[in-house]
Structure 1
Amino acid sequence: MSVLIAIPARYASTRYPGKPLVALKGATGESKSLIQRSWEAACEVKGVDRVVVATDDDRIRTAAEAFGAEVVMTSENCANGTERCAEAFDNLGGGFDVVVNLQGDAPLTPAWFVENLVEGLENDPMADVATPVLRCDGRALNGFLEDRKAGRVGGTTAVFTQDKHALYFSKEVIPYTSEVYDDVAPTPVFHHVGVYAYRPSALGAYPRWAAGPLEGLEGLEQLRFMEHGRQVLCVEVDARGKQFWELNNPEDVPRLEAMMAEMGTP
C-alpha cells in the first residue's frame, strides 16, 4: 500500500498561538521547533512514500523548508487537521492508498505506531480510519487527572468494542475508575494518540460532512467519522518503554522536555 504522511500545522491555534514554532530542547541541549521534531518523527516511519507539511501559514512554510521539509499550502478555512490533510491530498493529485495524519503537536510519536496503523487498515476491510490507543499506566493516568483538576484540557481517552472499533473518544477521562494505581501499574484507561490513517474514500468525504454535536462539544475531529457511521479502528500499540505526550498547552513544554531528557532524545 502506498502511504502519504501529511503533518497539518497551523499558526493560529486558539489555545496556543504559534505552537508549531515553539522550541523544544532535547537531551543534548539542542533546541528544535515542534514542527521540525514532528517531521523528523514522520521520516523515521518505514514504508512511507512521501512526507509533507500541510499549512496555511508562510511562517511555518519558511521554517519547514529551512530544515528540508516538503510543504503543501492549504486554505485558512480548514477546520481541523483532517480537513487540512484532505486538502493536501487533493492538492498533490491523490495517488496514495493510505493517508496518515501525523499531527504536528506529537513529536514523540514512535514510528511503529504509524506502521501498526497501516497494517491495521490492511487487515480490517471494514475500517475507514485507524488510530492508535495506548494503555495508560498509573503515571499517565495521574497526569490526565491532574490536568482535569487544574481545569486544563490534556490528552484524549478512548473506549472501544471487543473487535477494537471505537465507541467513543473524550477529553474527559473515560472509563471512570475509582482505583488508585501505582506509576507502573496498568490501568483500564486508554490514551488516544492523535495520529490517523485514512482510506482516501473516507478522507475525501470528510470535508463535505457537517460537524455533528459531539464533535462540537468535545472538539475532537475523529468523532465526525463516527457521527456519520464510519468505522474507526483503535489499534492498541506498545510504547516499548517510550513515553508519549502531545503539546496541548504551554505547561506541556517542560513535560515534553523532561521526557526527551529521560529517553535520551536529541
Structure 2
Amino acid sequence: MSVIIVIPARYASSRFPGKPLATLVGATGESLSLIERSWRAAMAVNGADRVVVATDDDRIRDAAQAFGAEVVMTSSECKNGTERCAEVLERIGENYEIVVNLQGDAPLTPSWFIEDLVKGLRDDQSFDVATPVLCADGATLAGLKEDRRNGRVGGTTAVFAHDMKALYFSKEVIPFVEEEFDADQPTPVFHHVGVYAYRPEALREYLTHPIGIYEKLEGLEQLRFLEAGHNVLCVEVEAKGRQFWEVNNPEDVPKIEKMLQEMGIA
C-alpha cells in the first residue's frame, strides 16, 4: 500500500507568523527550524514511499530545499493543511493509497504514531480518515487547562465512541473534568495529535464540502469531515515514554526545546 507524507507549511500564521522557520535547540545544542524537525520526523516513518513539504511561501521552499526536502508549491488560497494536501495530490498526478498529513508544527511526533495511523486506516475500510489520540496524563491535562485559563490554545482534545469513531474535536478541554489527577495518572481526556491519514477519495471530496459552523467556530479542519458525514477513526497511540506537544504559540518554543533536551533528541 503506497503512502505519501505531506507536510503543509505556511508562513502567515495569525498566532505565530513565520512559525515553520522558527528555530528550536535540541539536546546537542544544534538549532534547527521547525519545518526541518518535522521533515526529519516524517523521514523516520517506516513504510512511507515519499515525503514532501507543501507550501505557498518562497522562504519556506528555499529553507526546505536547502536541507534536502522535496517541495511542492501550492496555492495561497488553501485554507488549511488538508486543502493543501488535496492540492498536492492533484499537482503530482500520481496515485497513492494513503495520504498522510503531518502538520509542520509537530516535530515531536514519533514515527509509530504515523505507522499506527496508517495501519488503522488499512485495517478498517469503513473509515475515510484516521487521526491519532493520546490519553492525557495528569500533567498534560493540567497544562491544557492552564493554557485555556490564560487564553491560549494549548492543544486540541477529542471524544469518540466505543468503536473509536470520532464524535467531536475541540480547542476547549473536553470532556469537562473537575477531578485532579497525579502527574503520571491517566485521565478521561484525550489529546488529539495533529496528524491525519486520508483515503484519496475522501481528500478530494473535502474540497467540495462547504465550511460548516463548527469548523468556523473551532478553527479545526477535521470538523469539516464530521459535518459532511465522513467516518473519522481515532487511533489511540502510546507515548512509550516520549513527551508530545505541538508548537501553537511562540510561548511553546522553550517548552518544546526542554522536551527535546530531556529526551536526548538532537
TM-score normalised according to structure 2 size: 0.99
| Deviation for aligned residue 1:177 | 1.1
Q: What amino acid is the match of 1:32?
A: L
1:188-224 deviation line (CA, Å, top 9, x unaligned): 0000000000000000011121100000000000000
| Deviation for aligned residue 1:153 | 1.1
**Distance in 1, Cα, partners of 2:240 & 2:160:** 22
**Distance in 2, Cα, partners of 1:117 & 1:211:** 25
2:34 matched residue in structure 1: 34
1:256 matched residue in structure 2: 256
Helix, strand or coil: the match of 2:207?
Answer: helix
Helix, strand or coil: the match of 1:125?
Answer: coil
2:158 matched residue in structure 1: 158
Helix, strand or coil: the match of 2:133?
Answer: strand
- Number of aligned residue pairs: 266
Q: What amino acid is the match of 1:102?
A: L
Percent of matched pairs sharing the same residue: 68
Q: What amino acid is the match of 1:251?
A: E
1:50 matched residue in structure 2: 50
1:228 matched residue in structure 2: 228
Helix, strand or coil: the match of 1:109?
Answer: coil
1:151-186 deviation line (CA, Å, top 9, x unaligned): 111100000000000000000000111110110000
2:170 matched residue in structure 1: 170
**Distance in 1, Cα, partners of 2:138 & 2:250:** 23
Matches within 5 A, 1:201-216: 201-216=201-216
Helix, strand or coil: the match of 1:29?
Answer: coil
Helix, strand or coil: the match of 1:76?
Answer: coil
**Distance in 2, Cα, partners of 1:122 & 1:90:** 22
2:238 matched residue in structure 1: 238
1:195 matched residue in structure 2: 195
Q: What amino acid is the match of 2:257?
A: E
1:131 matched residue in structure 2: 131
Helix, strand or coil: the match of 1:208?
Answer: coil
1:66 matched residue in structure 2: 66
Helix, strand or coil: the match of 1:230?
Answer: coil
Q: What amino acid is the match of 1:135?
A: C
TM-score normalised according to structure 1 size: 0.99
**Distance in 2, Cα, partners of 1:177 & 1:247:** 24
- Greater displacement, 205-214 / 38-47: 205-214
**Distance in 2, Cα, partners of 1:224 & 1:94:** 25
**Distance in 2, Cα, partners of 1:165 & 1:118:** 16
The runs of at least 4 aligned residues of structure 1 exceeding 4 Å deviation read none
1:12 matched residue in structure 2: 12
Helix, strand or coil: the match of 1:203?
Answer: helix
1:84-139 deviation line (CA, Å, top 9, x unaligned): 00001111113100000000000000000000011001111110000000000001
Helix, strand or coil: the match of 1:167?
Answer: strand
Q: CA RMSD in A?
A: 0.5
Helix, strand or coil: the match of 1:28?
Answer: coil
Q: What amino acid is the match of 1:111?
A: S
